Structure 1
Amino acid sequence: MIQIFAPDQSKDFYKYIDMPTKREVRGARDYVVRTHNGALLVSFHTVDEHGAVLFANDERCSMMTGTPRLIEKAEGIDHESGFEELFAFFLALTSSDIYELARLEDKIEALEDELFSEDSVPDKEGINAIMELRREISQKKRYYEEMELLSDELADMEPEFVFIDKKFDRLYDFILRNQEYLEQVREAYQAQIDLVQNNTMKTLTVVTMIFLPLQLITGWFGMNLIMPEFNWANGYPYVICLSLIILFGEILFFKWKKWF
């Protein structure tokens, strides 16, 4: 059975480990070390940055951690060899990971359906939802990347851990696919936002182009100069008709060009 030590019981935990090994791992974060008497010392961190250190030899397996989830995974594991218990612990640690990653993929699919529904309007909330999932995937990716390297070292030292190594390889590939999928959703959503912005700018440009000649006319007749048109009996209606002709002419021209 895996013996559990709390972090404040570190002296009791490390009494099984020789001094050269202690010096070797001092200050290290995640590692796999073969001690001088043939035991294994393994340290790793979970997704939420909770750490654990495991010691295993032919006789026993012990773990120092304060994380309830890891303690729960270690409960009930009882084998003759400490190496077998270490193997069983990593097997239990990864037992539900594939389902968690599948649920994460479902969340991305649900977000995609929500963002690209017919009544959906691209906004900041959509970007925030994507960024939140992106942070979650990034944390999991870093965890599986570290565990993949750790399991590689374990497999090199103990051939029976090749199965654990391959399992972490598959989980790492899964999280990479999720990351790539989310990136495709983000790019498509950003393209939708750009399209809306382009349409808005296009509308504003067309409106500006329509009223620019009218501003020129009003500016011309607003100059403080004596003009013959001021003395015409129908000068004012003439200017109004000219403005309307230009206005409707531009609208027809823009429609013909399919600019709006």
Structure 2
Amino acid sequence: MRAWALLSDRRWIALLALALHPWPGHAAEPQFLPEVAPLSEFPDAGSATRREGVFLPPQAPRLLTPGMTKRQVYALLGVPHFHEGLLGARRWNYILDFYTGQGTEYRICRLQLRWDRRMRLERIAWSDASCRDMVYPPAQPQAAAGPLPPPVPAVRPRSLTVHFDFDKAALSEEAQRDLAAFMTEAGPDGGMLSVTGFTDSAGPDAYNDRLSLMRADNVARHLVAMGVPLSKLQISGAGERSPARSSDGPAKEPLNRRVLLEWTAGAG
């Protein structure tokens, strides 16, 4: 009795190892393929001692190999689920439950083991092919390698808009990061880079013209510091003309306080 209790402890240790440890690649390829037997060869499920079956990872029955002893099988699968006895019985039958991978859905499978006169495992049979395939997945055909598709050319950004605080011409940290990313993706370029400043409609026209040009100048200075030749820049201020968003009367519209960068003719 103590010997079987010790085997039971070892079985749970083995199953815990199955659940927690990945399987090496060579263990994934069985040396044989168990057969599929007609359901008439299996005992009536109503006479099972464990009619609900047991949940096991597919790797557990995958370790079954002809020539194993009953104790070795017991360590993997436990006691058989029908009144077949542990000593002298030539057949062991199990009801195994395997999760399908679709949520909590599972499939009930029947497994039969047969022993030779020396009580060594000689035959392994499943109730149907789909159950066997869950434990021994069929090899997938290798697709013929074809030519690699041509690389998709990267799309260069053609323009960038950076925004400013009200009545300010200094670049924010975010604007500086946007400028650096834009030049990394779009430049250097063979064409000219137009740098145009704008303001909202609050304040006199003359003041807004000067503020828009200050904003464009500050962006241009930042680009030159990044290595862009000054000769490649077209710098201008448009004041409150050509707003990004129209507004009625004096308005502090944030989207209009901006500098627009655009590659012009010759950019490729």
The answer to whether the superposition gives a TM-score over 0.5 is no
Whichever structure has more helix as a proportion of its residues is 1
Give the TM-score taking structure 2 as reference length.
Answer: 0.26
Between the two structures, name the one with larger relative contact order (CA 8 Å, sep ≥ 6): 2
Give the TM-score taking structure 1 as reference length.
Answer: 0.26
